[in-house]
Amino acid sequence: MAKQNIFDNEIFFEGYQKLREKKSSANVLFEIPALYSLLPDLKGKKILDLGCGFGEHCKDYVQKGAEKVVGIDISEKMLAVAKKENSDPKITYLQMAMEDIAQIDEKFDLVISSLALHYVENFAGVVQSVYDLLNAGGVFVFSQEHPINTAHAGGDRWTRDENGNKIHLNLKNYGVEGENESVWFVDHVKKYHRMFSTIVNTLTEAGFTIGKMIEPLPDEELLAKYPDQADLFHKPDFLVVRAEKKK
């Protein structure tokens, strides 16, 4: 089964890099704070980062006390930036697809993944591999695009009034799981839609218990600064999950 590596497409890579540099991106405002709020104390922990990208998080985990961090990514371009800008003696970067992590011959206290799992077709396989790689009492924290977003497969996402203001979200085929192609910097970006229940059931069937889930929304202070983020009350952009392996 071929694994998608859209991040080594030059046009996509440059567009994504510019997006992540924006201080007001949804990642900065919502996804990263929610993800970090679910992390345990990192002191002395061995951490695996799935889809580590540019490695900023890996470096941050070390600065927060992690003993060792292994960052994997399928993208050669991403890892080149990571090794150049976010290297550390306690960090090892590996070019590897998330579907292949069963090949890693060590155990971790914590597995983290930021906005990568919706690119994976075999979610159940990756979840089971994560469970097997965790020590007893280990924690799996991940974010992904919200299932309402991954259900979208073209056309206008919104119904608008005569002035172009968004009235409500257009949603169809939420119950049709599988591959959707979208245009994001380039054509044919593959994302995999799974219903909310499928995500939860896959985790529990692998042996995890659910510790907490967050669907990040703006507070009043953030809305005052970024009023367009009121869209999120129609549809959260992200789902952030903490799952735990029994001690």
Q: Which helix or strand (DSSP H or E) is residue 150 part of?
A: helix 147-150
**DSSP 8-state symbol, 187:** E
Give the mean pLDDT per block of 10 residues along the chain (247 residues). 51 55 77 97 98 94 98 91 95 96 97 94 97 98 94 82 91 90 55 95 98 96 92 94 96
Fold classification of 6-244 is Rossmann fold (3.40.50)
**DSSP 8-state symbol, 151:** T
Structural domain spans, the chain = 6-244
Cβ-contact 160, 167 below 8 angstroms: yes
pTM of the model: 0.89
Sheet with strand 68-73: strands edge to edge: 91-95, 68-73, 46-50, 108-114, 134-145, 238-244, 209-214
Given this model, what pLDDT does residue 22 score? 60
